[in-house]
Amino acid sequence: MKNFTLTLLALFVFSSISGQTFSTGTITFPSPLNEYSVKIDVTSSLVTLTQIMPNDRWYALAFNNSSMSSGDIIAFVNSTNISDRQLGGFGVPAADAVQSWTTISNSENGTVRTVISTRALNTGEAGDYVFSATAGSINLAAARAGGATFSLGAHNGSANAVTKANYAITLNNNEFDLNSFTIYPNPSTSATTIKLPSNIDKAVVKIYDNLGRVVKNQSITNIDNIVTTSDLTTGSYLVVVRTDYGNATKTLLVE
């Protein structure tokens, strides 16, 4: 009965986390915009954009664009929100009638700001870039104010001393598979080590018992990756490893 219950739990947990996510990973733009980083994550229903930048000026990112002359952009123009806009020539880009991006997080750490925003893959609005939840490529272009200002200006205007950078990236499927992390020893008596893939430096580990209860909830890294099992009763458990790039599950036996 325990094994059957655990199998049902595994199916439930796996179905809830196994939706594919395509991600650029964190992309740092080349000089002179190397203080600006972006990360794009795409699921079947949502795009999540993470921008990391200095907190004293505006930044703009153009999608599927090798320059800053036309197309769909998102600009951070004040201390609270981002602005959905359209480029048209070399003037100040006009704000869209409908602001499709939603700012869900805006935090500062010293002089660095991190802004996380979400949007539907296809807004249905003319001019808005349509994202695809598949592996592929996307051209990005970025611009920023040359000085400390949130007054949005034309990217090539000498008064704003704005710089730009072009970057082509690939949206890769970084979903874990069942062999992407290892657990040893397994079976375990007092503790077990969870080894992450070399390109993943942190994760959250949740261990479920055969009734579906979370009995362990622990953050791990590639260095600090030991999970104590001496306080668990003998039996089978489901280990779920959650990362920024996907999730995976395995069975752990405790003796």
Q: What is the spatial distance between Cα 104 and Cα 115, in angstroms, rounded to a whole number?
A: 8
pLDDT at site 168: 66
Sequence ranges of the chain with CATH classification 2.60.40.1210: 22-173
pLDDT at site 159: 37
Pick the CATH number of 22-173 from 3.40.50.720, 1.10.3720.10, 3.90.1170.50, 2.60.40.1210: 2.60.40.1210
pLDDT at site 142: 84
CATH 2.60.40.3080: does it fit domain 2-19+176-254? yes
Q: Give the tokens for residue 159.
A: 């008064």
Q: Please determine, for residue 83, whether its predicted confidence score (pLDDT) is greater than 60.
A: yes
Q: Give the tokens for residue 199.
A: 């390109």
CA angle 47, 49, 52 (to 5 degrees): 170
Q: Give the tokens for residue 247.
A: 């999730």
Answer for the pair 19, 43: CB distance below 8 angstroms, yes or no: yes
Q: Please determine, for residue 16, whether its predicted confidence score (pLDDT) is greater than 70.
A: no
Sequence ranges of the chain with CATH classification 2.60.40.3080: 2-19+176-254
Q: Please determine, for residue 51, whether its predicted confidence score (pLDDT) is greater than 60.
A: yes
Q: Give the tokens for residue 42.
A: 């795409």
Q: Please determine, for residue 50, whether its predicted confidence score (pLDDT) is greater than 70.
A: yes
pLDDT top residue among 17 and 252: 252
pLDDT top residue among 4 and 57: 57
Band the pLDDT of 84: cuts 50, 70, 90.
Answer: very high
